[in-house]
Amino acid sequence: MCKLYEKLWKIWPGRPLTYVIRDWWHQYEGLWIIGLVGIGALACWKFGLLNVLKALGIFAAGYAAGHVFWGKEWVKGQEHHLFWGKERKDDEL
């Protein structure tokens, strides 16, 4: 799946679509917020609040799982460069 995504963004616009969308967000932030709130209001009107909240819960779970399991290769014992709020030194490894 990652190879397919890479082929798509190499064709257009030449960089990852997540970067393009992030640029659009910062350029048109007000329009994005109005649009997303409007879509949420229409969804609640059409499907009901409880169904929309269920869908948002499912989406949030999928979003979190995607960030945990999809992306870069898994490295056993991989840690963030900060260790409990302080920078780690090479000799602490």
Q: Quick one: what percent of the chain has pLDDT higher than 90? A: 38
- Provide the pLDDT for residue 81: 53
SS3 sequence, the chain?
CHHHHHHHHHHCCCCCHHHHHHHHHHHCHHHHHHHHHHHHHHHHHHHCHHHHHHHHHHHHHHHHHHHHHCCCCCCCCCCCCEECCEECCHHHC
pTM of structure: 0.52
Q: Quick one: what percent of the chain has pLDDT higher than 70? A: 72
The answer on pLDDT for 19 being more than 70 is yes
